[in-house]
Amino acid sequence: MDGFVIAVDRGRYTCVLAGAEHGVVGAELPTVTAMRARELGRKSVVVGDRVNLVGDTSGAEGALARIVRITERRSVLRRTADDDETTAEGRLERVVVANADQMVIVSALADPPPRTGFIDRCLVAAYDADVEPLLCLTKADLAGPEEVLGYYTELELPYVLNRPDSDLDALRALLAGRVSVLVGHSGVGKSTLVNRLVPEAARAVGVVSAIGRGRHTSTSAVALRLPPIHGIDTDPGWIIDTPGIRSFGLAHVSADSLLHGFPDLVEGTVDCPPNCPHTAEEADCGLDAWVAAGKADPRRLASYRRLLASRAGEGDQRGEIDQRGPGEGDRRGPDE
């Protein structure tokens, strides 16, 4: 039987069978509990994986199926605990989710202020994973989006604005038919957003993690089926909540690929010398002239070079200057 992994907890995997994933939603979604078969070896199974199941797939209490195969992943979102691949944390690569179509980067416009350093990292991770990014700006009743959107104006980054009293129609339309992974710092309103998108979220999490005695830890991801859109007979999609992701170490991303997270700077490297490191110390780097000519925001170049330095293990990541929002400096680590 073909299955879709929606939760992982201490060696047990909650799956929905193919076909059922497009059926009922919330806590009533029929699930199958499975374990990894020995023949999988060291291959990890993560939320979002499409798998093949054998054994008892009835979903009855106490039933246990086996995952015998992981189908080829169309996208893999990864992170490391550190940027520097020479460190133990940098070598420890984790697959966050598989087969996501879209990364929804949730950022508040105020309380707390937007953190563009974190957003930049998410964009690098999304582009590296071949996942489309979507910026979801919350608390739009407290501050306007102009400065944040201005910072990303050259990227034509898709975005939605949310207020506590606004409907979620625009966001729902962008989530429909897709598997979307939500990332964001605590306090930005991500949990509130999840609960508004899936009113049954708390009960659904309790069911899919029943194998872990009903707990949903702060480090576990869970896929939630979106309810149908009223009057529209289409696949409403899935969201994957990742409450444990508060940073993206990028040691798994090569220095060349890191630039792809800054598409507004790519054209500026055309006049760079061969093997240009693009650092501030490289006198002939074309990026400085590109920014000086007004073709990119200097803050974007500064952010890119901070990531380059961090990846090279230079400086104290925790002590680097990052931005609360465009133009407003603050002392904190690049992920915080």
Q: What is the pLDDT of residues 244-264, one digit of tens each?
A: 666 677 878 887 789 988 999
Same domain, 173 and 109: yes
Of 14, 47, 70, the last residue of a domain is 70
Q: pLDDT grade, residue 206 (50/70/90)?
A: very low
Among the three residues 48, 70, 92, which one is the final residue of a domain in this structure?
70
Identify whether residues 61 and 82 lie together within a single domain: no
CB 98, CB 238: distance < 8 Å: no
Q: Which residues are annotated as a binding site?
A: 138-141, 184-192, 272, 276, 278, 285
**pLDDT on residue 290:** 96
Task: Verify that 131 and 191 share a domain, yes or no.
Answer: yes
Residue 210 lies in a domain: no
Domain boundary among 47, 70, 93: 70
Q: What is the pLDDT of residue 91?
A: 62
pLDDT tier, 329 (very low <50, low <70, confident <90, very high otherwise): very low
Q: Could you tell me what percent of the chain has a pLDDT over 70?
A: 78
On the question of pLDDT at 294 being above 60, the answer is yes
pLDDT digits (tens, 9 = 90+) for 48-106: 999 999 999 998 988 999 999 999 999 999 887 766 566 665 566 788 899 999 999 99
pLDDT band at residue 3, thresholds of 50, 70 and 90? very high
Residue numbers in the known binding site for Zn(2+) are: 272, 276, 278, 285
pLDDT of residue 221: 86
Identify the pLDDT of residue 237.
93
One domain, residues 48 and 87: no
Q: How many domains does the chain have?
A: 3
**162 and 229, same domain (yes or no):** yes
Binding site listing for GTP? 138-141, 184-192
Over residues 132-154, the pLDDT tens digits come to 999 999 999 999 999 999 999 88
Q: What is the pTM of this model?
A: 0.84
